[in-house]
Structure 1
Amino acid sequence: MVRRTRDEALETRNKILDTAERVFSERGVSHTSLADIAHAAGVTRGAIYWHFRNKADLFDAMMNRVVLPMEEMAQRAGDATLDDPLAYVRGCALNVLERVVRDPQCRRVFEICCHKCEYVNEMSQVRDRHIEGRNACLSHIEAGLRNAAAKGVLARGVNPRNAAVGLHALVDGLIMNWILDPGYLPLDKEAGRIVDLYLDGLRRAPRSPAAKQKRSRRTVRGEPVEPRTGYARQGRR
């Protein structure tokens, strides 16, 4: 009996969240009341208040259903046992973009968050949660990049924090613009190429065998190793 009651309560909670997604998407967050959600879900306002303190709490729970699995994946980026932390960071970024494209619920929730919500009055606490989540994401990416630097994968001179901010801005911008206008680009086909363009600039380029051999010979002969340029040296005998 207790389990049945618990299962029924969970079913009601999920029903409210599903309905909130739909109504927020149709009307926008500021034009939707808890009474509107209760009516659309076929429950009482009391049922909503049993599960959520207010609209902001309901909105936060709706976001968490989509965002928490992504945050949990990103948390492992700093794991020292990863062979290639930069490749793992890439996988995290592409996982988010792929879910936005292929998962209607994820796309709907991000659309509500990006384009149909005003962070004012009672929703100001949602803004705080948004900032908290962003900062946590940045910390995970930065940890992954510092991990990559420690393993010699990251190019010398790359600031992990700045690189993390850049990657986050790239992914965030792709999501916001693609949701606003899916004709912006075929995100399902181009996401990998775009992310790789950025990450390839962070990765330490492996020295070619020929370059290693040439440097070794010149060092043995005692010749100075000059920096490579795009121009041939003139007049050298």
Structure 2
Amino acid sequence: MRRTREEAEATRLAIMEKGLELFSEQGVAATRLSDIARDAGFTRGAIYWHFKNKWDLFDAICEFYSQPFKQLSDASLSDQEQDPLGKLRQLLVGLLSKIEFDPSFRRMMVMFIRESSGICVGEISDPVAQFMQYQHRRRLSVIRNAIKRGQLPASIDPEAASWLIKAMVDGYITSWLQRSDYFSISSNADVFVDTVIASLSALQPVPDSVDDEVCTL
């Protein structure tokens, strides 16, 4: 019997949900598609009908669970946006709030932080590195838009600013995941994000030359 489009989409979502669960618990490298098929109650053929391999599934999970923030993200990248930092702020505050109250989104962030830190396999895989670079380029666009609009000083180092955002947000999320009973990540999201944005203005480019006396210290 031929499946309807709705049934096919339901199967795809079920595979993504089970894939997300296993990826977040044990990492992508340690998870086989056969594990996902078994736990989700599907055949391997059903998995391959929807996804070429587990990294294709990884990409689909990231895209699907990031979708609620795409409009804000795209707006902050637009040359026409008058308040790129404001849009970035809304995105980060919304992301932190969603982590606390949406278990699936929380798993997605756990999965990505695990993979992008390299703690699962000792190094970052090419698909994750490519996704990290994609996100980095988007953050750079936001920062440069903010500089153009006068929201950030022209003297800051955009590259350093991009990675500072990632480091601070990932670190904050990781700390909360370790001891979520200590504080509410959503209740403190506004103050934290304001601190991140304020920190960007202090970043300066690495000087072309360093004083010889300093080098001897």
TM range (shorter): 0.7 to 0.9
Query: Which amino acid in the other structure matches residue 195 of structure 1?
Result: V
What is the number of residues matched between the two proteins?
199
Q: Secondary structure at the match of 2:187?
A: helix
Which residue number corresponds to residue 96 of structure 1?
A: 95
Q: What percent identity do the matched residue pairs reach?
A: 33
Counterpart for residue 142 of structure 1: 140
CA deviation profile, 1:185-207 (whole Å, cap 9, x unmatched) = 42112121122123235569xxx
Larger of the two Rg values belongs to structure: 1
Contact 1:85–1:144 at 8 Å: present in 2 too? Answer: yes
CA contact (8 A) 2:140 2:158 kept: yes
Question: 2:88 is matched by which residue type in structure 1?
Answer: V
In the alignment, the residues of structure 1 paired with residue 83 and residue 165 of structure 2 have an alpha-carbon distance, to the nearest angstrom, of: 17
RMSD (CA atoms): 3.0
Q: For residue 118 of structure 1, what is the aligned residue in structure 2?
A: 120
Secondary structure in structure 2 of the residue aligned to 1:189: coil
TM-superposed CA distance for 1:77, in Å, is 1.6
Q: TM-score, normalised by structure 2?
A: 0.75
SS of residue matched to 1:153: coil
Residue 91 of structure 1, CA deviation:
1.6
Match of 1:188, SS state, is coil
Give the equivalent residue in structure 2 for 1:51: 50
The change in CA–CA distance for 1:113 and 1:181 in structure 2 (over 3 A counts) is farther
- Return the alpha-carbon distance in structure 1 between the equivalents of residues 192 and 166 of structure 2: 13
Tell me how far 1:107 sits from its aligned partner: 0.3
1:164 match: 162
Amino acid at match of 1:110: M
Contact 1:77–1:140 at 8 Å: present in 2 too? no
**Partner AA of 2:137 in structure 1:** S
1:179 lines up with 2:181 in the alignment: no
Q: TM-score of the superposition, structure 1-length normalised?
A: 0.69
- Give 1:97 deviation, angstroms: 1.6
Q: 1:86 to 1:27 in 2, by over 3 A?
A: closer
Distance in 1 (CA, whole Å) between partners of 2:60 and 2:154 is 41
Q: Which runs of 5+ in 1 are unaligned?
A: 205-237
CA separation of 1:197/1:23 partners in 2, compared to 1, >3 Å: closer, same or farther?
closer
Name the SS of the counterpart of 2:106 in structure 1. helix
For structure 2, the 5+ residue unaligned runs are: 203-217
Change (3 A) 1:179 1:127: farther
Contact 2:24 / 2:114 at 8 angstroms: preserved in 1?
no
Does the aligned pair in 1 maintain the 2:12–2:50 contact within 8 Å?
yes
The aligned amino acid for 1:164 is S
Name the CA shift for 1:9/1:198 in 2 (closer, same or farther; >3 Å). closer
Q: 1:105: Cα distance to partner? A: 0.6
Q: Say whether the 8 Å CA contact 1:78–1:146 is kept in structure 2.
A: no
The match for 1:154 is 152
